[in-house]
Amino acid sequence: MIKVDQAVKTYGRKRALDGVSAEFRNGQIIGIVGENGSGKSTLLKMMAGLLLPDSGSVEIGGTPVTRTLAGREIAYMADADLFFPYFNTEQLFGFYATQFDDFSIQKARQAADFLGLDRSVKLKSLSKGNRGRAKIAATLGREPEAYLLDEPFSGLDPMVRGEIVKGLIRFTDPERQVVIMTTHELQDAAPLLDEIAVMKAGRIIAHESAEEIRENHRGGPSAWMKSLYEKERDPIGARS
């Protein structure tokens, strides 16, 4: 389980996280959604050990997060392309195998083949969709406690998004792992999610079961999120 308790992070005068508290339990696929600048990526980086909170805490299995602990327990996939462009996907997997003890080249190859990726083509020559496939295959090659995926569907066409959803289902273990993703593509991700947390202005304003959202909110998760933002903009009107 990953636990965030009253986490605060500021950049100059901007407060990116404003006392965020949440628990993300194993056996769940969780979406963190919200508008640009709401704090989603900052929260994910903090859980991945890439940022430290100014105050508050982040724990994995009851232990405070450090870069070393996060490197062992968490597979983090950034939104940006951070790979060596002259590698092909097979070479990328070889590099990952030197960096992470839990990385399986065989599993990564299976994920790449499942996603229809040619492993011999250099990353710089791949389309954006195929670079997205390479990123997710490399990430899924690991066997961590948690997968943290920052905007895994960003800029990808619907077919690629669908393939990534299927890959996440096939190559993660829902009994012992947790998958946490930030996304703007809630409509595509919603069928995959067990829980949805909504962020606004550095705070989590709601965190609910996806099944309960579908049962209790007409229009499903997207309409639910829109209604939350409308209440935040007009709190007086929302109570009247």
74-126 per-position pLDDT tens digit: 999 998 777 788 999 999 999 999 999 999 999 999 999 999 999 999 999 99
Domain ranges of the chain: 2-239
Cβ 43 vs Cβ 199: under 8 Å: yes
Residue 83 backbone phi and psi in degrees, to 5: -90, 160
Q: What is the pLDDT averaged over residues 7-29?
A: 93
- Count Cβ atoms below 10 Å from residue 59 Cβ, excluding itself: 16
- Summarize pLDDT for 120-143 with one digit per residue, the tens: 999 999 998 899 899 999 999 999
Q: What is the pLDDT averaged over residues 198-207?
A: 94
pTM of the model: 0.90
Question: What is the CATH architecture assignment of 2-239?
Answer: 3-Layer(aba) Sandwich (3.40)
Residues 118 and 179: their CA atoms lie apart, in Å, by 26
The residue written with tokens 């839990």 in the block is 102
Residue 51 backbone phi and psi in degrees, to 5: -130, 145
Name which residue leads in pLDDT, 13 or 91. 91
Q: Which of 42-46, 78-82, 232-236 ranks highest by mean pLDDT?
A: 42-46
